[in-house]
Structure 1
Amino acid sequence: MEEFWQLYQNEILSTLICLAILFVTRLVSIQTIKRIGRISDLNKLRTKLIVKYVVIGHSLIFIAALLLIWGVNIKDLGLILSSVFAIIGVALFASWSILSNVTAGVILFFSFPFKIGDRIRIMDKDLDSSEDYTIEDIKAYHLHLRKRNGELITYPNNLMLQKAVTVLNPLEEDGEGTEAL
């Protein structure tokens, strides 16, 4: 054990420092996201989803730091990672919309132009532009929109960033008082 400590003392100390930094930054990030969610009166499930994304991101950064600290041979690791990333790249290219919808969900969380319960009107040629929708839920990939007649529509997050969306005044039922985003 003494030999192991003397041989890898710098790596062990660097790993412990990296672990401490990971815990502190993760704690600060999670508390900040929860505070934003609480101040903005956002859905708790939506806040938990963003926290999960941050935890995964922190974990990937920590693993990369450990690989650098322990001096893993980049050439050997590069061959394995290039094969894995080639497969992942093909999968993401085939389903690019999933990635764009998740990214749009994160952007919608931090910009919070609308929230659950808001009445909106979407200027989309595929939807009736005069129709009002109530936001029932905001998921990682899509929103649940409810028409006045009770019909439920799922609408992709990335289209909410691409299309013009009007948040309607809740006091005006006929859509006269609107507030543009």
Structure 2
Amino acid sequence: MNAFNIQIIETIIILGGYIILYFIFKTVINNFLKRTRLERSRRKMAIRAVQLFSTMTAIILLTGVWGFKQNEIALFASTILTALGIAFFAQWSLLSNITSSILIFFNHPVKLGDYVKVLHKDYHYEGEVTEMNYFFVHIKTDSNKIITIPNSHFFEKSFSVSEKK
């Protein structure tokens, strides 16, 4: 067998292993988090984080199989990190929204289904929290409109929380 055929077989094995491990990790994490009684949106965020980690691992393994040199991988990674750094600097609120989503996830009294009312003179948001993701909190008003609030604003403002109205 020549080297090219071996690389293809190794690639198929890595991709197959990635798919199998993804579903195993997803099931195990989902079942574990269900026992901890976390909301569905928080379970989805944890599964996304595991998916990101496993995808990065598969990419690193594939670069090794196909013979990329370490300096080529380092150049690619530094280019991507530089682009991300510039993007975060140009749009710092993006980084603050991601940070706020992590803080909201672990240490915030609001959960899906809660009725919230923002207590701020310039902002009048009131409704049921329908979705929470990395960047936004979605609130459904009494008139069935969806308000999308950036996590950084949601984290900074004072509000009252009650059960479903």
Question: Structure 2 length as normaliser, TM-score?
Answer: 0.62
Aligned-residue identity in percent: 25
> Highest Rg: 1 or 2?
1
Give the C-alpha shift of residue 30 in structure 1.
1.5
The alignment partner of 2:139 has SS state of: strand
**Does structure 1 residue 79 correspond to structure 2 residue 75?**
yes
1:19-168 → structure 2 map (5 Å cutoff): 20=17, 26-35=22-31, 36=33, 39-42=37-40, 47-48=43-44, 51-67=47-63, 72-105=68-101, 107-109=103-105, 113-124=109-120, 126-128=122-124, 132-148=126-142, 152-168=146-162
Q: Provide the C-alpha distance between the structure 2 equivalents of 1:37 and 1:156, rounded to a whole number of angstroms.
A: 27
Q: Provide the C-alpha distance between the structure 1 equivalents of 2:77 and 2:52, rounded to a whole number of angstroms.
A: 18
Q: Contact 1:121/1:166 (CA < 8 Å) preserved in 2?
A: yes
Q: Contact 1:42/1:115 (CA < 8 Å) preserved in 2?
A: no
Structure 2 stretches lacking a partner, 5+ long: none
Q: Provide the C-alpha distance between the structure 1 equivalents of 2:52 and 2:147, rounded to a whole number of angstroms.
A: 30
Give the C-alpha shift of residue 60 in structure 1.
0.9
Q: Provide the C-alpha distance between the structure 2 equivalents of 1:165 and 1:28, rounded to a whole number of angstroms.
A: 39
1:176 maps to what in 2? none
Give the aligned residue type for 1:142.
Answer: F
Q: Contact 2:112/2:130 (CA < 8 Å) preserved in 1?
A: yes
Q: Contact 2:39/2:112 (CA < 8 Å) preserved in 1?
A: no
Question: Structure 1 length as normaliser, TM-score?
Answer: 0.58
Give the C-alpha shift of residue 88 in structure 1.
3.0
How large is the RMSD of aligned CA atoms in angstroms? Answer: 4.3
Q: Deviations over 1:29-81 (max 9, x none)?
A: 412443325833535xx755653443233111232344457764222333343
Give the C-alpha shift of residue 89 in structure 1.
2.3
Distance 1:107 1:64, change over 3 A: farther
Distance 1:61 1:151, change over 3 A: same
Give the aligned residue type for 2:85.
Answer: G
Structure 1 stretches lacking a partner, 5+ long: 174-181
